[in-house]
Amino acid sequence: MKKHPRVILSLIIDSKRMIKRSKFKNYKYLGDPLNIIRIFNSKRVDEISIISCENYEKKDINIDFEFLEKISGEAFCPLTYSGGVRSLEDADKLFSIGFEKIGIRNLLHTNPEVIKQIAEKYGSQSVVIFIDYKELNNNEIEIYTSYNSFFKSTKSSILEFIKNAESYGAGEVVLQSILREGQSKGLDLDIIKEITNKTILPIISSCGMRDLSDARKAFSLGADGVMASKFFSLYGNCDGVLLTYPTYQDIEKL
Dihedral pair phi/psi, residue 48, rounded to 5°: -125, 135
pLDDT of 152: 60
Alpha carbons 52 and 197: distance in angstroms, whole number: 31
19 has pLDDT over 70 = yes
Is the CB of residue 85 less than 8 Å from the CB of residue 102? yes
Query: Can you give the pLDDT at residue 59?
Result: 62
pLDDT of residue 106: 86
- pLDDT tens string 147-165: 556 656 655 588 988 999 9
Q: What is the CATH number of domain 7-252?
A: 3.20.20.70
17: pLDDT strictly greater than 60? yes
Distance in angstroms (rounded) separating the CA atoms of residues 63 and 85? 8
- DSSP code for 174: E
**Cβ contact 45:228 at 8 Å:** no
Measured distance CA(143)–CA(136) in Å, rounded:
11
Q: Return d(Cα 170, Cα 13) in angstroms, integer.
A: 24
Contact 118, 102 (CB under 8 A): yes
Reply yes or no on whether the pLDDT at 48 is more than 70.
yes
Give residue 182's Cα distance to chain centre: 14
Give the span between the Cα atoms of 70 and 99, in whole angstroms: 11
Indicate which residues carry an active-site annotation: 132
Lowest mean pLDDT among 79-88, 119-128, 133-142: 133-142
Confidence band of 237 (pLDDT split at 50, 70, 90)? confident
Which tens digits make up the pLDDT trace of 174-205? 999 999 999 999 999 999 999 999 999 999 99
Whether residue 250 has pLDDT greater than 60: yes
Could you give the residue ranges of the DSSP H alpha helices within the chain? 33-42, 65-74, 88-96, 107-110, 113-122, 158-167, 189-195, 212-220, 230-233, 248-252
How is the chain split into domains, by residue range?
7-252
Identify which of 69, 81, 104, 86 has the alpha carbon closest to the alpha carbon of residue 12: 81
Rounded CA-CA distance 199/6 in Å is 18
- The amino acid that residue 221 corresponds to is L
Mean pLDDT of the chain: 91
- Residues with Cβ within 8 Å of residue 91, at least 6 apart in sequence: 85, 102, 114, 118, 121, 122, 126
Predicted pLDDT at 3 = 85
Tens of pLDDT, residue by residue over 84-132, are 999 999 999 999 999 999 999 889 888 999 999 999 999 999 999 999 9
pLDDT at 168 (0 to 100): 97
- Please compute the mean of the pLDDT values over residues 212-232 and round it to a whole number: 96
pLDDT computed for residue 127 by the predictor: 98
Cβ proximity of 33 and 17 under 8 Å = yes
pTM comes to 0.93
* Of 137 and 216, the one with more pLDDT: 216
Residue-level pLDDT at 114: 97
Residue 122's pLDDT is 98
The average pLDDT across 42-48 equals 97
The DSSP result for 113-149, as a single string, is: HHHHHHHHHH-GGGEEEEEEEEE-STTEEEEESSSS-
